[in-house]
Amino acid sequence: MTAPQTPTTAEELRGAGLRVTAARVALLETVRAGDHLDVEAIATGVRDRVGHISLQAVYEALHALNAAGLVRRIEPPGSPARFEGRVGDNHHHLVCRSCDVVVDVDCAVGHAPCLTAADSQGFSVDEAEVIYWGLCPECSAAGTAAP
């Protein structure tokens, strides 16, 4: 029996109802190859792949990909928005207070929402976002103080 084939980036875009363009393919592949990239880093990665693209076009494409569930936007307080390709699971993030590195951490519970609000105020809660703050191993070893 043959294993199912992984869809191409173009097929994923089509499946999400989005028009396939070289810039969108490059953008999605850049986000997935990166590590919690900000918009400037994504724009640089896309430009390396396809040439010129305006920052506005990057913002618009990221908005469309996020709305389609192909990328996830995270915005730790005090940091610019970052984007990641890990979607569709219940995970959280560790953020270093010194160097701003962001890493994924699986939820201890494993299903969404992993936290229950003390008072949901009538909301039907389907997700909880958790950010753990501290110092990464490199900053801890260097004796870097958190700002």
Query: What three-state secondary structure class fits 73?
Result: strand
> Is 96 annotated to bind ligand?
yes
Structure tokens at 99: 């160097």
Degrees, nearest 5: CA angle 56-84-96: 110
Structure tokens at 16: 């999400």
**Is there a contact between 121 and 105 (Cβ–Cβ < 8 Å)?**
no
> Is 114 annotated to bind ligand?
no
How far apart CA 68 and CA 70 sit, in angstroms, is 6
> Is 107 annotated to bind ligand?
no
How far apart CA 79 and CA 52 sit, in angstroms, is 26
Residue ranges of the binding site: 96, 99, 136, 139
Residue ranges of the binding site for Zn(2+): 96, 99, 136, 139
